Structure 1
Amino acid sequence: MLRWLLLLLPPFLLPLLLLLPPAVALRGCLGARLAWLVGLQQRVALGALGWAATWQRRRLDHSTRHAARSQGQALAWCLRGPKGGTDTSAFRNHLPLTTASQAQEEENGGQDQPLTSSQHPREAALQATVLGLSALSKAHPAALAPGAAARVTPTSPWPRPLPWLGPVLGLAGPPGAEDPQALLLAALRSPGLRALEAGTATELLDVFTGLEAQGEELAGAIATGHLGAPLPGRAAELRAALEQGPRGLALRLWPQLQVVVTLDAGGQAEAAAALGALWCQGLAFFSPAFSAAGGLLALSLWPDQPRGVYLLPPGPPFIELLPAKEGTPEGDTGTLLLAGAQQGEEYELVLTDHASLTRCRLGDVVQVVGAHNQCPVVRFIYRRGQALSVRGEVTDERMFSEALGRAVAQWPGAKLLDHCCVESSVLDSSEGSAPHYEVFLDLRGLRNLSEENREKLDLCLQDASPSYKSLRFRGSVGPAQVHLVARGAFSALRAALAARPSSPALPAMPRVLRHRRLAQLLRSRVLS
């Protein structure tokens, strides 16, 4: 019925309907007699979104069916070559693989992160947003109703704003959208939310921990009418919800909430797990894309699939796959195009974007879990740049995270919220002792660790890494030093990372700090 109604409307009326003030404004300005226009506006917006998504999905299916040709065109776009495509074999033979130089690392706060453009290709960002909204609408139809979604961070999970559709679909921020407290207050004033949006899972984790710390202040602002009419009843609901603790807090505040939307990036898994186990227990999570090195690398098309499954599209940007299985020589530079990926294998991503004439190894390693036409469906599993090594051993991000998870499971009542590691040389903490790992933890449910519990992490690391165990046995490496940090320490770290001039809008969360200033920031907030 909706399709026929839209077809009967003159073409020039569609944009006019979408440009009308959104639902709340219409009710306030025009009265109940024009409530039907509000519903029509919403249906027109959803119809326009459906058409755009169908068109984008057809383009995506066409490009993935002809992946090699599509990648040639993506490379031509990156290099500003002929529109018909570029010879990918000649390109790979002519330009060697590169990684971030030491100077680039220093400019990026000491993190092993390539310097690429922070701007998503506009077409890729639009595709990710439209297809993501379409997937979200199918899985949770009520999430796109007027007033059903609220963003609680200044950054948005949607890569590209939609000026026509955004306000109608509830994707536009309220007044003061750059003020985190104003965003949270606006969301708290709306008990009927169906979707909660944040830039990343770590940012949402900061929102909930901040909500617990400032709950009374926020309740007072709601009761006195900050950002609107006084709502003393809603303030009482907030106080009552906070008194029951973090587990299930989101559903106590918003009983109709269905889904949490964040943009996925490196280092977000722990925050997402903590949110799902505590504050957002019982809610679905959805990410429209995976972002790395300041750009969009993969699309999420299947919200019903397990979290973290993405499609690597044929670009732009231009992506190659470098085999990352154990035993591959470090200097091996033989890359594959997307169509050559094998299911079950692991690959490091190599990126060429429109601002660079280099083939840069990102360090992000994916495992192929399926295929969509000729392009791989992947899961991001770890980052090579986030490895620890104090005596030539390599304890990569995945290995350390698994060992840490086993150790935390042995600490009664503990729930891991966040962690970072530092090699002792960065903090000059090896004087008089063997080099070792310094581990900073943010835990919920445990305020102190016994020496026996601290040792459990080192034992788990030895079980995970034979080379680490051998070095520990010989005394060449000292035991890992475990520190608990105060609440808010990792929020301060993320603020410091975001404040760097070269930081992308949604920086990945580092697990290994290589810059002394950042490491000292955590050390200054150690509790025990």
Structure 2
Amino acid sequence: MLLWPLLLLLLLLLLPTLALLMQQRSQDARLSWLAGLQHRVAWGALVWAATWQRWRLEQSTLHVHESQQQALRWCLQGAQRPHCSFTDISTFRNHLPLTKASQTQEEENGEQPLPPTSNQDLGEASLQATVLGLVALNKAYPEVLAQGGTARLTLTSPWPQPLPWPGNTLDRVGTRGTKDPRALLLDALRSPGLRALEAGTAVELLDVFLGLEADGEELAGAIAAGNPGAPLPERAAELREALEQGPRGLALRLWPKLQVVVTLDAGGQAEAVAALGALWCQGLAFFSPAYAASGGVLGLNLQPEQPYGLYLLPPGAPFIELLPVKEGTQEEAASTLLLTEAQQGKEYELVLTDHASLTRCRLGDVVRVVGVYNQCPVVRFIYRLGQTLSVRGEDIGEDLFSEALGRAVGQWPGAKLLDHGCVESSILDSSAGSAPHYEVFVALRGLRNLSEENRDKVKETRTGSDLEPAPPFPH
């Protein structure tokens, strides 16, 4: 008979604990439901914003001259120096000479680099790049933007315009608002189910992977010890095992569900993209929502499934002109062209005017027109004037390299060159113990598995399947 009173007393003692556990479980369920609701509301708001911005983009690209005239007026109103009252685009182009980026830096900042434009000054193109880019990315990779599907590995974001609420509820893996890059990497490493990695630029992401290799044991120890978060010894063991197999394909070994890498494109990123695609991020797609410069967003990427580096040049601010690149020379052409005057297949240097200063600045970025969207050109950024490749002091210009590679591909029956990258061997593991050289990566259509004979044709031109990069080979 004494058993029942004892059981009743034990139950009475356990009731507060059970109630607390049930309350906690109910609270966790409510929080999970609320987070899911916020995510759905945020996504609905984002889709609505993207629909509105797509309509505005359609209107501006259908009426390009009016849009560029309006963009120029906005730039002139914000110029921080006295200027003449220009009434139209022709007067503006006739009265102001072209300047180079180096000249603009000296005049504006006493030879200091131009400061990046603030978020408030980026113009509508930055908002369009963000909202349209997110929707396009979700269409191409439907599970990437699910809760916990994406992690940013750098303090800077690839999305040009930070979104207010409800954009913040489209949460990434990681500690929100952290100023510690190591914390971002640890949060990502603790999440094996990631489907996308984000970084400000490809160069920054390259630094992250180099640091991961150098500090791998320390990071694994932190994960095993639960610093921060709960201890995850099994995940730490997976990290150690993945690092032991070397850099090639490391990202997919760490995150088997990974699909795409998102970075913001800008001048000087091609070598980092080629290196990442050849080693750490081998087998992954790369997506950039925009091509940016210090003056703002210059190009929009609306098709993640297309080859990396294709952008629509929008007619809004900053004001963009196109300077024809003369074949075989970098001399200045007689005059610039507007967006509607661009010809498919031709190459142009970008000339930029923003609202921070009244200058027509030659950026040095050269594009090739590959298509048309309404009345605006779709371009591929192919090289920068004055930028060279050099492993032994030879200083090969990017334009000369691209030209030589194009001649070599022309000797491969049925091959079409879609994209290419050239990496100095010093940042690739395949160069260990070998003389300095270049490694060339090509995306081809119509040809797979390059033969030694075809590779030799690249060497003979003195350059150092669908969208399938060919294996690297030294120059």
TM-score range, shorter-chain basis? 0.7 to 0.9
Q: Which residue of 1 aligns with 2:432?
A: 447
Q: Which residue of 1 aligns with 2:449?
A: none
State the superposition RMSD in angstroms. Answer: 3.5
Q: Is the 8 A contact 1:417 1:442 kept in 2?
A: no
Q: Is the 8 A contact 1:417 1:443 kept in 2?
A: no
Q: Is the 8 A contact 1:197 1:260 kept in 2?
A: yes
Q: Is the 8 A contact 1:216 1:239 kept in 2?
A: yes
Matched residue of 2:168: which SS? Answer: coil
CA 325–331 in structure 1, closer or farther in 2 if over 3 Å, else same = closer
Task: Please give the TM-score of this superposition, normalised by the length of structure 2.
Answer: 0.76
The CA distance in 1 between the partners of 2:156 and 2:25, in whole Å, is: 28
Q: Which residue of 2 aligns with 1:73?
A: 70
Within the candidate set 53, 61, 80, 1:56 is matched to 53
Within the candidate set 38, 41, 44, 1:41 is matched to 38
| Structure 1 residue 209, shift from structure 2 partner | 1.5
| Structure 1 residue 244, shift from structure 2 partner | 1.6
Q: Is the 8 A contact 2:248 2:280 kept in 1?
A: yes
CA 380–225 in structure 1, closer or farther in 2 if over 3 Å, else same = same
Q: Which residue of 2 aligns with 1:290?
A: 291
Matched residue of 2:386: which SS? Answer: helix
* Correspondence 1:342 to 2:343: yes
Q: Is the 8 A contact 2:69 2:89 kept in 1?
A: yes
Matched residue of 1:181: which SS? Answer: helix
Q: Is the 8 A contact 2:274 2:423 kept in 1?
A: no
Q: Which residue of 2 aligns with 1:513?
A: none
Q: Which residue of 2 aligns with 1:517?
A: none
* Correspondence 1:197 to 2:198: yes
Q: Is the 8 A contact 1:198 1:204 kept in 2?
A: yes
Task: Please give the TM-score of this superposition, normalised by the length of structure 1.
Answer: 0.69
One-letter code aligned to 1:352: T
Aligned-pair identity in percent equals: 69
CA 228–378 in structure 1, closer or farther in 2 if over 3 Å, else same = same
CA 417–319 in structure 1, closer or farther in 2 if over 3 Å, else same = closer
* Correspondence 1:118 to 2:103: no
| Structure 1 residue 332, shift from structure 2 partner | 2.5
Q: 1:337-365 deviations in whole A, cap 9, x for unaligned?
A: 10110000000111110011111111111
Q: 1:263-317 deviations in whole A, cap 9, x for unaligned?
A: 0111212221222222112222111001124521100001111111000000200
Gaps in structure 2 of 5+ consecutive residues: 1-23, 79-85, 408-420, 439-456, 465-475
Q: Is the 8 A contact 2:117 2:294 kept in 1?
A: yes
| Structure 1 residue 460, shift from structure 2 partner | 8.1
Structure-to-structure mapping, 1:63-212, within 5 angstroms = 63-80=60-77, 86-101=87-102, 104=105, 115=114, 118-119=117-118, 120-171=121-172, 174-175=175-176, 177-212=178-213
The CA distance in 2 between the partners of 1:445 and 1:107, in whole Å, is: 44
Q: Which residue of 2 aligns with 1:413?
A: none
Structure-to-structure mapping, 1:305-320, within 5 angstroms = 305-320=306-321
Q: Is the 8 A contact 1:97 1:333 kept in 2?
A: no
| Structure 1 residue 396, shift from structure 2 partner | 2.5
Q: Is the 8 A contact 1:158 1:288 kept in 2?
A: yes
Matched residue of 1:142: which SS? Answer: coil
CA 281–299 in structure 1, closer or farther in 2 if over 3 Å, else same = same
* Correspondence 1:324 to 2:314: no
Q: How many residues align?
A: 400
The CA distance in 2 between the partners of 1:99 and 1:80, in whole Å, is: 22
Q: Which residue of 2 aligns with 1:425?
A: none
* Correspondence 1:231 to 2:216: no
The CA distance in 2 between the partners of 1:118 and 1:187, in whole Å, is: 29
Q: Which residue of 2 aligns with 1:266?
A: 267
The CA distance in 1 between the partners of 2:109 and 2:213, in whole Å, is: 32
Q: Which residue of 1 aligns with 2:377?
A: 376
Q: Is the 8 A contact 1:318 1:352 kept in 2?
A: yes
The CA distance in 1 between the partners of 2:102 and 2:210, in whole Å, is: 36
Gaps in structure 1 of 5+ consecutive residues: 1-26, 407-415, 420-439, 466-479, 481-528
One-letter code aligned to 1:237: E
Structure-to-structure mapping, 1:353-392, within 5 angstroms = 353-386=354-387
Matched residue of 1:178: which SS? Answer: coil
- Structure 1 or 2, whichever has the larger Rg, is 2
The CA distance in 1 between the partners of 2:66 and 2:88, in whole Å, is: 10
| Structure 1 residue 228, shift from structure 2 partner | 0.9
| Structure 1 residue 101, shift from structure 2 partner | 4.4
CA 50–215 in structure 1, closer or farther in 2 if over 3 Å, else same = same
| Structure 1 residue 445, shift from structure 2 partner | 1.8
| Structure 1 residue 185, shift from structure 2 partner | 0.4
